[in-house]
Amino acid sequence: MEFSSKSAALPSLACACLVVGVFEDGKLTEPARLLDQASRGHLAKLVKSGAFAGRSGQSLMLFQIPSVSAERVLLIGLGAEKEFNLRVYRKVVDKSVRALLDGGVTEAALTLSMLSVPDADVYARARHAVECAGDAAYRFEQCKSKPDKHQTRLQKLDLLVSGREELRAAERGIGHGSAIAGGVALAKDLGNLPPNICTPGYLANEARKLGRGGKLKITVLEEAQMKKLGMGALLAVSQGSREPAKLIIMEYRGGVKGAKPQVLVGKGITFDSGGISIKPSAAMDEMKFDMCGAASVFGTLKAAMQMQLKLNLVGVVPTSENLPDGNAVKPADIVKTLSGQTVEILNTDAEGRLILCDALTYAQRFKPAAIVDMATLTGACVVALGHVVSGLFGNDESLVKELWNAGEKADDRAWQLPLYEDYQEGLKSNFADFANVAGREGGAITAACYLSRFTKGMRWAHLDIAGTAWKSGADKGATGRPVPLLVQYLLDRA
Ligand code: BES
Ligand code: MN
Ligand code: ZN
């Protein structure tokens, strides 16, 4: 989809479809009022008839309004005016784009970007409109034998602004929004791909593809190299799989030479069967999404490159399958991690932390300004927080605050859970330095506690995205989260 910003007189703007908002109880927005005036009360009459009440998300497609040049006008309900905010704005952009696609519209102009939204300037309104439009228009069709011929493709969306002086900020918003939408789409694609295609080897090639523009330095460590380094935990997970594990490193140097990089680490389990501690078969297909942390690293790097962010950024992706096999790791096995600490693997289904711990230790060689890891780590996090916010943990309150703020700004929210020392004792092992699991209670926290043992002395935070990285049910699919949060975090540091 192509985006541009425009400042134009509304009734005379020639376009295929003009999207205008109406507040609850039929209160017309300024763009709607201008159309109403030109058409001598066409919209007011419609509202009065009860045909359109302006309920949040309501939509109505109109044709041939007198004295209005647009071929069609899409009315979109904004809800109560005093409750209008960035989140409602995003929701109505989403609804608008879905209604446009539903109506077979391929080009449209949006007046929603002209509305005043608390805490969102023109830049933010343009950027969020582009992000939401990209989200709403996303389709995953790579694995269909032929494309859906009934599917409309929105080709062009003009974002209208109130005056020429707003154009520059809107263009900047469109630029950032497109980069974020592109990153989100990449993360969704990788997440949605089936596990027989999206293997560790596939992800390694995807990294090489991303590096082709010459802006990334790509390194892929193979199992033999990892063995030499001493990554016993990561290799324990992959030993039951025919697909060799990889450790993918992507370095983006957009900042001054020698400046400490931000390091992003993403869990890349391309399929999690649980291993010998095998999962029940119901919904096991969803464990193809267990590489969504990795996908968010790819998506964020892609966006950072496109935005030419002035900072140094390193992505580290440990990737493996987790399968049972005659050679698979067993409950009670003890392995030595890259950090030198030994771990008793009491549950082979707690594999995410095993691949992450060696990646986190490895990441320290980059002397990071901060390390943030993203992982679909625990079902317990979904129980605690549902699908609305990601779990947020860290050993540095300022870093946690920065990530929390980024999530709010990007509308990709996270909520902090505690990492109190008291939770650590659950990981006690009689045979190794510690175990890879604690009891059932507080599972998201004890998983984070495990990771914290590999990040001592670093500024580190962890996002448990088990509830936010994908949706189940009729709309099953990856969400691309937390790419928006991560890009915002980087934007705020660049
Ligand atoms: N990938 C799963 C976590 C998960 C489960 C995410 C369900 C989303 C939905 C992870 O590898 C896992 O299996 N975690 C275990 C940990 C337990 C064995 C301590 C879990 O959550 O059950
Ligand atoms: Mn697991
Ligand atoms: Zn997993």
pLDDT tens digits for 439-455? 999 999 999 999 999 99
Ligand closest to 385 (CA) is: 1
On the question of pLDDT at 480 being above 90, the answer is yes
Query: How many angstroms is it from 432 CA to the middle of ligand 3?
Result: 22
- CA distance readout (Å), 210 to 112, 204, 298, 301: 34, 10, 8, 9
User: Mean pLDDT, to the nearest integer, of 161-184?
Assistant: 97
DSSP for 400-418? HHHHHHHHHHHT--EEE--
How would residue 149 be classed by pLDDT, with cut points 50, 70 and 90? Answer: confident
Mark the residues whose beta carbon lies below 5 A from ion ligand 3. Answer: 269, 272, 290, 352
Query: How many angstroms is it from 281 CA to the middle of ligand 1?
Result: 14
* Probe target for ligand 1 pocket from 277, 378, 481, with the most ligand atoms within 8 Å of CB: 378
Cβ pair 455, 224 in contact under 8 A:
no
On the question of pLDDT at 37 being above 90, the answer is yes
- CA distance readout (Å), 242 to 74, 199, 238, 322, 353: 53, 11, 8, 10, 21
pLDDT at 265: 99
pLDDT tens digits for 301-320? 999 999 999 999 999 999 99
How would residue 147 be classed by pLDDT, with cut points 50, 70 and 90? Answer: confident
How would residue 461 be classed by pLDDT, with cut points 50, 70 and 90? Answer: very high
* Probe target for ligand 1 pocket from 349, 355, 471, with the most ligand atoms within 8 Å of CB: 349
Ligand closest to 267 (CA) is: 3
Which domains are present in the chain?
2-137 (3.40.220.10), 187-493 (3.40.630.10)
User: Mean pLDDT, to the nearest integer, of 351-366?
Assistant: 99
pLDDT at 151: 82
Q: SS3 helix, strand, coil % of the chain, rounded to 5?
A: 40, 20, 40
How would residue 299 be classed by pLDDT, with cut points 50, 70 and 90? Answer: very high
User: Mean pLDDT, to the nearest integer, of 281-297?
Assistant: 98
Active site residue 279: yes
State the catalytic residue, choosing from 353, 413, 459, 481: 353
pLDDT at 142: 95
pLDDT at 154: 92
Active site residue 228: no
d(CA 141, CA 146): 8
Query: How many angstroms is it from 81 CA to the middle of ligand 3?
Result: 44
On the question of pLDDT at 148 being above 90, the answer is no
Give the full edge-to-edge strand order of the sheet including 72-77.
2-6, 156-160, 107-110, 17-22, 72-77, 59-63
d(CA 109, CA 19): 6
- Choice among 5-9, 299-303, 336-340 with the minimum mean pLDDT: 5-9
Of ligand 1's atoms, which has the minimum distance to the CA of residue 269?
1
State the catalytic residue, choosing from 91, 279, 336, 493: 279
d(CA 137, CA 95): 11
User: What's 69's DSSP letter?
Assistant: -
On the question of pLDDT at 291 being above 90, the answer is yes
The length of the chain is 494
The pTM (predicted TM-score) of the whole model is: 0.98
pLDDT at 8: 87
Percent of the chain past pLDDT 70, that is, above it, reads 100
How would residue 150 be classed by pLDDT, with cut points 50, 70 and 90? Answer: confident
| Residue list, ligand 1 pocket, CB within 6 Å | 272, 290, 347, 349-352, 376-380, 382, 437, 443, 466
On the question of pLDDT at 141 being above 90, the answer is yes
Token pair of 86 as six digits: 């960035």
pLDDT tens digits for 109-126? 999 999 999 989 999 999
Residues 6+ apart with CB under 8 A from 206: 190, 298
Of ligand 1's atoms, which has the minimum distance to the CA of residue 322?
11
Token pair of 247 as six digits: 């450790």
Closest residue CA from atom 22 of ligand 1: 379
**Other Cβ atoms within 10 Å of 278 Cβ, number:** 15
Determine which helix (DSSP H) or strand (DSSP E) holds 490, and give its type and residue range: helix 483-493
User: Mean pLDDT, to the nearest integer, of 280-301?
Assistant: 98
Query: How many angstroms is it from 105 CA to the middle of ligand 3?
Result: 41
Tell me which amino acid residue 441 is: E
Closest residue CA from atom 16 of ligand 1: 350
On the question of pLDDT at 153 being above 90, the answer is no
pLDDT at 262: 98
Of ligand 1's atoms, which has the minimum distance to the CA of residue 277?
18
pLDDT tens digits for 376-416? 999 999 999 999 999 999 999 999 999 999 999 999 999 99
User: Mean pLDDT, to the nearest integer, of 47-76?
Assistant: 95
Cβ pair 320, 235 in contact under 8 A:
no
What's the mean per-residue pLDDT of the chain? Answer: 97
Query: How many angstroms is it from 382 CA to the middle of ligand 1?
Result: 10
Query: How many angstroms is it from 104 CA to the middle of ligand 2?
Result: 43
pLDDT tens digits for 48-60? 999 999 999 899 9
On the question of pLDDT at 46 being above 90, the answer is yes
Cβ pair 343, 436 in contact under 8 A:
yes
How would residue 222 be classed by pLDDT, with cut points 50, 70 and 90? Answer: very high
